[in-house]
Structure 1
Amino acid sequence: MELHKIESLLEKYFEGETSVAEENQLKDYFSSAGVAPEMEPYRPMFAYFKQAKAETAHKTFELPAMKTNRVAWLSIAASAVVLLGVGLMFFNRPQSQDLGTFDDPEVAFRETQKALDLLSGNVNKGIQGMQYVQEYEDVKTSVFPSK
């Protein structure tokens, strides 16, 4: 085979652009006796590829048998748990809620006062927290005046 053609095939081979037929031409060339002296360094590489292709595994591997009975029972148990959870969610929800209707106006007034006192206390806590933020802003502007 022409040396120039082998060089171009090797270049294509190392670029990953050869076809299977071209790779077979290279393997045949490097396994023949007429390899050019400047191409001798590539001969062991192609000999290795030929040898590696011929190798086969002699040890047999057996995969453990899958216990289908166990898997079936686990899937049935998981389905039962899901169905039980969904059933409990639907059957245990409250039918109707008494949202605080009062027949006596005095009781309604006292309960409303309690709710408003609770709300007022929480709002006052929030305002106190904002005072700290305001102090922080005042100190920040005194240390870092805006431009």
Structure 2
Amino acid sequence: MESNKIETLLEKYDNGESTLAEEQELKRYFTKENVPEHLDVYKPLFAYFKVNQEEVFTKQLPLKTQPKSVLKWISIAAAVVLLLGFYFSDFNESQDLGTFEDPELAYLEVTKSLEMISEKLNQGAATVGYLEAVNKGTATLNYLNELESATQIIFKKQKQ
């Protein structure tokens, strides 16, 4: 009679439907000496669980907190060095922007720069012109979608 009960508990255990109390009962049953031959395959499994439950980790783990504080001070020192570098680099550089003495030469340079900017903007505007064709295609596609939905409504009404 007990063998039938253990077999039903094993079936529940294999399906993942057993409770903790039922698993404890299985562990107790399989740690006994006399287990039927057809259930011998489960004996090493539950013996492993019992041995594994009794294991204790006794090794000391070294905890090192020193590198974190050193890393913090190194990062603070690096930030200070960067700030000092930026501060002193501004004093040494002169703010010569390349001014022109001759107004006509300045005017020619400005017009040359503006022509270059205009040329690049026109090239960009030419590539944007293709978007108009895409917009037309999208409008046509939307029209076809509306036509298809209206057609489906008509055919649904005819079927009813």
TM-score by length of 2: 0.49
In terms of fraction of residues, the more helix-rich structure is 2
1:46–1:73 distance in 2 versus 1, CA, 3 Å: same
Q: Partner residue of 1:35?
A: 35
1:51–1:115 distance in 2 versus 1, CA, 3 Å: closer
Distance 1:4 1:101 in 2: 105
Q: Partner residue of 2:62?
A: 63
1:23–1:101 distance in 2 versus 1, CA, 3 Å: farther
Counterpart secondary structure, 1:63? coil
Q: Partner residue of 2:108?
A: 110
Aligned-residue Cα RMSD (Å) equals 4.1
Where relative contact order (Cα < 8 A, 6+ residues apart) is larger, the structure is: 1
Distance 1:109 1:72 in 2: 55
1:73–1:101 distance in 2 versus 1, CA, 3 Å: same
Query: Which amino acid is 1:62 matched to?
Result: L
Q: CA deviation at 1:18?
A: 2.0
Identical-pair percentage: 38
TM-score by length of 1: 0.52
Query: Which amino acid is 1:31 matched to?
Result: T
Query: Which amino acid is 2:109 matched to?
Result: E
Query: Which amino acid is 1:114 matched to?
Result: K
Distance 1:116 1:76 in 2: 46
Distance 2:60 2:2 in 1: 47
